[in-house]
Amino acid sequence: MKKRLIISSAICLAVLIVSLYFAQALLVPKYVSVSPEGALTAEYYAAADETSHDVLFIGDCEVYESFVPAVLWEKYGISSYVRGSAQQLVWHSYYLLEDALRYETPKAVVFNVLALKYGQPQSEAYNRMTIDGMEWSQSKVDAIIASKTEDESFLSYVFPLLRFHSRWDELTGEDLEYMLDRPEVSDSGYLIQTDVRAAEPDDLAIEGSPLADYTLPKESMAYLDKIKKLCDDNGIELILIKAPTNSWRYWWYDEWDAQIVDYAGKNGLAYYNFIDEVEDIGIDWSQDTYDGGVHLNVYGAMKLTEYFGKTLRDAHGIPDRHEDTNMSAVWSGRVESFYSKLTDNIRED
Amino acid sequence: MEQLIEILKELHDDVDYNECETLVEDGILNSLDIVAIITEIDDRFDVRIPAEEILPENFNSAKALWELIERLDD
Amino acid sequence: MSYTTWSFVALIFAAVLLYYLLPKRIRWTVLLCASVIFYAAGGGWYLPFIAATVITTHIAARAISKMASRAEEYISLHREDMSKEERKAYKAKEKGRRCAVLVAVLVLNFGILAVMKYTGFTLNAVNGLLSAFGRGVTVPVPDLLLPLGISFYTFRATGYIIDVYRGKTEAEKNIFRYALFVSFFPLVLQGPISRHSKLAPQLFEGNSLRRENITAGIFRILWGYFKKVAIADTALVGVRAVISGEGFTGMYALYLIIMYSVVIYGDFTGGIDITMGVARLFGIRLEENFKRPFSSRSTQEYWNRWHITMGSWFTDYLFYPMSVSKPMGRLTKRCRTRLGKGIGMRLPVYLATLITWYLTGLWHGAGWNFIVWGLINGVIILVSRELEPLYAKFHKKFPSLDTQKGAYGVFCAVRTFLLMGSVRILDCYGDVPRTFASFGSIFYRFDTWKDLFNGSIITNLGVGVWQYVFLAAATLVVFFVTRRERDELACDKLSRKPVLWAVACTALIFVIVIFGSYGIGFDSNQFIYNQF
């Protein structure tokens, strides 16, 4: 009796663990055709295994919709990767950078400053999209603790099934298809958008509504300090940027900009606000955005990348790696993949 | 005893009170019946059954109930 | 600390481990420590309240039991030189003294309960009266938080002191042991209201580790979580949508009656299953609180099978003492001489029934809806009692109709289920006029039925087709399992069948993890029943 109890319990426990494993694989969101930005964090690791990167972009949608690493390579021989994710908050950026440093040490880190306006965790869903893809390390543990909202439990990050189990009644064929192996959705962290939706002239005339307080929260600024220190300790140059946007919905206030200019000046950092440079870059708000001026589409992003690549090369000394045969081989594959995806997307549109 | 069974018969005349020993357990007597029985016993035998004696084992059969009455009368 | 938290699971695990590692003599201290932790986790300010109840009832119980033994000693010493009358008078005098102590401690403890639970309700009612009479004054209503499980532990403690007074149970000598009886953590949130004579011996025994206790306990806990987290909480989504939405009448009211029955059944019996299972892990068998209540054929039967320990508390400590009390006896005699035997005999006991049900309603919560709920239950029981001769005639005419079997049995069970479900929605809406309006609409808002057939019900209530499929399947599983529990509980049966036990536990864990309503986007992790 006792023996039978132990044996059957052991077998059932094994069956339970295996079935929960597969249930988890089936039930977690796949981020392929729906919200692909959720797949970005996880895609970095395979790329880091392939080759090293001299430039790492960190930040929110304003990096992964604005910079095309394939173009940087093509034009300047710069090896780069975009570690962006949807509504990536400053502490996310910090821990994603810390995580990346376990694999490589870039020459420069480019940080987009928009997220500095958030001092508190914002949304559970965006936490999941940024953090779930991280491989386990102390950085992931710290990232979860730093960013989880009140209702979230640490355990649900260890076992995402506890978070996503209720998707059982909304499963699609995609969940089964990509259960164990997912296709790559980004190009070195860049997410292609080929749609064109012009910013309406009426919209462009509107500015962001006034705020009660323009001071950037001290919580986010403290993490910017931490990013700065992490870069200093590893001999990395930190470059601050603000991606070009033109929408009153996501307005970048002059008061905020002044604080960043001040911060950059005090810490000896370069800061480029591309909003002021759209004419030099050649961005046309009737052509180069896919959502009325909130984000650039691929045409805008290619222009911006080409423009910024020159700065990276000339002002920050990022080397041309075309001579490096191993790297060239990797990058020619990535460039080819980018252009084939681009033509596919255009044809689908 | 005869008189007691008479009281019980007035409540439910389809029960064999000489045999049945699960009057409470099987829900034949509910709390309202029990209070009615106690009131009748008080009336006819002049025996007051206190609340603490209202236990299933005292009301499960006519015999047990009769023993309770005799004990209390003592 | 609710049952659906990881800290609760951790507490049980640690307590069980420690319990069986320590020597038998001191095993009960593990339970006491776990109870204090469980209680303190709910908020430290609860502790003085439960401590006050423990201390006052303990001192009173000791006093009563000492007075009783002293009186007995006196009588046995002076048996020779006392006449029968003198002995009787002495006994009565001593009993009166004990009764005074009992009454004092009962008043104190029910007083605490009343102040904490009913102050707000009473003052609001007073303010309502004041404004009705046009006075421009209002009494400020303090915001008192209800100590965790106060209704349940007050009843456990007062039941104990009455039992000591009646000589039905031994007074506890050690206050810490007694504190464990009052605060035993599985019972804190929603009972059962265990009796001292049945629970105490098991608490202090130092039970040995036995395989069947562990296996039965684990299965029962999982079964409880299945009913609560997978069934009740899934159905709760639809219930909430109906209550909070506008214009959900007619068919939706019927939907509410059925779905809220599913919710309260899953939540309450599931919670009690978890309680029973946890106690079982320590080798403690608690009194059952439910015996397949939804197959009851009548309201009276339903209340003998639903929340049994509460019903029996009210019957034993309120209804019987009140019904057989001297004033009631006098009332009976007076009624009988004035109104004749039939009605005269029944009137007092009916009065006692209604008072009992009024207080049962009030015990559930401070609100008119609870009071009305209690009184309706009382009235239903009395009306069906009055109709008993009619039923008897009916059954004589149609002897083939058996309430226990066949289609007529099913009819009786469904009728009782719907009747009890209809009364129960009073506690959904929490508002008496709204409940009646909603119930009434079942009989004339037939236009709402189209929502059932055109699929609007799915979009309106936010419960998907697949969730109904799951609910139906899970409810069927519960139905078939409980149907077979007439003689022996599933957890005990499975304890003898190791393979089946392991398979059942595995399946339950899998179903709870996947189909349970927990985590983000789901905010009900509080048992419905601990509001009471």
Residue appearing with tokens 């929960």: A20
> d(Cα C367, Cα C365) in Å, to the nearest integer?
6
CB contact under 8 A, A169 and C513: no
CB contact under 8 A, B35 and C168: no
Of C211, C515, C516, the CB nearest to A2: C211
> d(Cα C56, Cα C43) in Å, to the nearest integer?
22
CB contact under 8 A, B36 and C349: yes
In the 8-state DSSP scheme, what is residue A319?
P
Contact B39, B45 (CB under 8 A): no
pLDDT band at B74, cuts 50/70/90? Answer: low
Collect all residues of chain B within an 8 Å Cβ-Cβ radius of residue C300: 27, 30
> d(Cα B22, Cα A165) in Å, to the nearest integer?
50
What six digits make up the tokens of C259? Answer: 């779905």
> d(Cα C111, Cα B46) in Å, to the nearest integer?
37
State mean pLDDT over C355-368: 90
CB contact under 8 A, C520 and A152: yes
pLDDT tens profile A249-266:
788 899 999 999 999 999
E strand or H helix at A223, and its extent? helix A218-233
> d(Cα B36, Cα B32) in Å, to the nearest integer?
6
Residue A198 scores a pLDDT above 60: yes
Contact A248, A217 (CB under 8 A): no
Collect all residues of chain B within an 8 Å Cβ-Cβ radius of residue C299: none
Q: What's the one-letter identity of residue C465?
A: V
Q: Left if phi > 0, otherwise alpha if psi is -120 to 50, otherwise beta: which for C319? A: alpha
In the 8-state DSSP scheme, what is residue C275?
H
Q: Which pLDDT does position C520 carry in this prediction?
A: 65
Please, what sign has the CA dihedral across residues C225, C228, C234, C235? positive
What six digits make up the tokens of C196? Answer: 């001292």
Collect all residues of chain C within an 8 Å Cβ-Cβ radius of residue A163: 519-520
DSSP assignment string, C339-350: H-HHHHHHHHHH
Residue C401 scores a pLDDT above 90: no
- Chains sharing 3 or more CB pairs under 8 A with chain C: A, B
Mean predicted lDDT score pLDDT of chain B: 82
Helices and strands in chain B: count of H runs, count of E runs = 4, 0
> d(Cα A223, Cα A93) in Å, to the nearest integer?
9
> d(Cα B67, Cα A270) in Å, to the nearest integer?
102
Residue C313 scores a pLDDT above 90: yes
* Among candidate residues B48, B52, B54, the one with its CA nearest the CA of residue C165: B52
Q: What is the largest CA-CA distance in chain A?
A: 82
Q: Which pLDDT does position C527 carry in this prediction?
A: 35
Q: Which pLDDT does position A80 carry in this prediction?
A: 94
Phi/psi at A273 (5° precision): -100, 105
Residue C532 scores a pLDDT above 60: no
Collect all residues of chain A within an 8 Å Cβ-Cβ radius of residue C503: 8, 12
pLDDT tens profile C51-66:
999 999 999 999 999 9
Q: What's the one-letter identity of residue C413?
A: A
Contact C272, C290 (CB under 8 A): yes
Contact C237, C462 (CB under 8 A): yes
List the single range of A235-249, C18-32, C224-238, C437-451 with lowest mean pLDDT: C437-451
Q: Determine what percent of chain A falls in helix, strand and coil, rounding each to the nearest 5.
A: 55, 10, 35
Q: Which pLDDT does position C531 carry in this prediction?
A: 37
Q: Could you give the count of Cα atoms lying within 13 Å of C398 in the half-sphere of its Cβ?
A: 7
Collect all residues of chain C within an 8 Å Cβ-Cβ radius of residue B10: none
Burial A40-78 (b: 16+ CB within 10 A, else e): bbbbbeebbebbbbbbbbbbbbbbbbbbbbbbbbbbbbb
pLDDT tens profile C147-175:
888 889 999 999 999 999 988 888 899 99
Q: What is the largest CA-CA distance in chain B?
A: 32
Burial A332-349 (b: 16+ CB within 10 A, else e): eebbeebeebbeeeeeee
Residue B41 scores a pLDDT above 90: no
* Among candidate residues C315, C342, C197, C219, the one with its CA nearest the CA of residue C276: C219
For residue C326, CA distances in Å to B32, B54, C321 come to: 17, 16, 9
Q: Which residues pair with A289 in a beta bridge?
A: A296
CATH number attached to the domain at B2-73: 1.10.1200.10
State mean pLDDT over A172-193: 89
Residue C177 scores a pLDDT above 70: yes
Angle at C307 between CA C306 and CA C312, to 5 degrees: 105
Q: Closest Cα of chain A to C5: distance in Å?
A: 11
What six digits make up the tokens of A257? Answer: 């900009």
Q: Which pLDDT does position C354 carry in this prediction?
A: 93
pLDDT tens profile A291-349:
888 889 999 999 999 999 999 999 999 999 999 999 999 999 999 999 999 998 888 77
What six digits make up the tokens of A42? Answer: 């996880």
* Among candidate residues C265, C305, C500, the one with its CA nearest the CA of residue C491: C500
E strand or H helix at A111, and its extent? strand A108-112
Q: What percent of chain A has pLDDT over 90?
A: 60
Contact A245, A294 (CB under 8 A): yes
Does residue C239 sit in helix, strand or coil?
Answer: helix
> d(Cα C364, Cα C7) in Å, to the nearest integer?
28
CB contact under 8 A, C499 and A161: no
Q: Which pLDDT does position A304 carry in this prediction?
A: 94
Q: What is the largest CA-CA distance in chain C?
A: 89
**Span A2-348 CATH architecture:** 3-Layer(aba) Sandwich (3.40)
Q: Closest Cα of chain C to B30: distance in Å?
A: 8
Contacts of B54 (CB under 8 A, 6+ apart): B34, B38, C316, C320, C324
What six digits make up the tokens of C472? Answer: 């139906």
Burial of C61 per CB tally in 10 Å (0-12, 13-18, 19+): buried
Residue C39 scores a pLDDT above 90: no
> d(Cα C61, Cα C105) in Å, to the nearest integer?
9
* Among candidate residues C62, C48, C29, the one with its CA nearest the CA of residue C160: C62
- Chains sharing 3 or more CB pairs under 8 A with chain A: C
What six digits make up the tokens of A66? Answer: 């604005």
Q: Which pLDDT does position C136 carry in this prediction?
A: 67
CB of A17 less than 8 A from some CB of C: no
Tally of CB atoms within 10 A around C41: 17
CB contact under 8 A, A23 and C6: no
Q: Could you give the count of Cα atoms lying within 13 Å of C139 in the half-sphere of its Cβ?
A: 15
User: What is the distance of C-alpha A169 from the center of its chain?
Assistant: 30
For residue C229, CA distances in Å to C260, C266, C519 come to: 15, 8, 11
ipTM: 0.89
List the single range of A90-99, A309-318, C421-430 with lowest mean pLDDT: C421-430
In a mutagenesis test of the B interface, which of C84, C317, C323 is the best target, namely the one with the most B β-carbons within 10 Å? Answer: C323
Listed by start position, the domains of chain B span 2-73
Asked whether C and A share 3 or more beta-carbon pairs under 8 angstroms, the answer is yes
Contact A236, A313 (CB under 8 A): no
For residue C166, CA distances in Å to C57, C64, C273, C400 come to: 15, 10, 31, 46
CB contact under 8 A, B32 and C349: yes
State mean pLDDT over B12-38: 81
- What chain B residue is nearest to C322 in terms of C-alpha separation? B51
* Among candidate residues C334, C383, C325, C333, the one with its CA nearest the CA of residue C354: C383
Residue appearing with tokens 């559930």: C364
Asked whether B and A share 3 or more beta-carbon pairs under 8 angstroms, the answer is no
Residue appearing with tokens 């430039």: A55
Does residue A145 sit in helix, strand or coil?
Answer: helix
Of C301, C345, C349, the CB nearest to B27: C301
pLDDT band at A271, cuts 50/70/90? Answer: very high
pLDDT tens profile A15-57:
999 999 999 999 888 888 888 888 899 999 999 999 999 999 9
Contact A295, A245 (CB under 8 A): yes
* Among candidate residues A324, A339, A280, A345, the one with its CA nearest the CA of residue A77: A324
- What chain C residue is nearest to A165 in terms of C-alpha separation? C514
Tally of CB atoms within 10 A around B24: 21
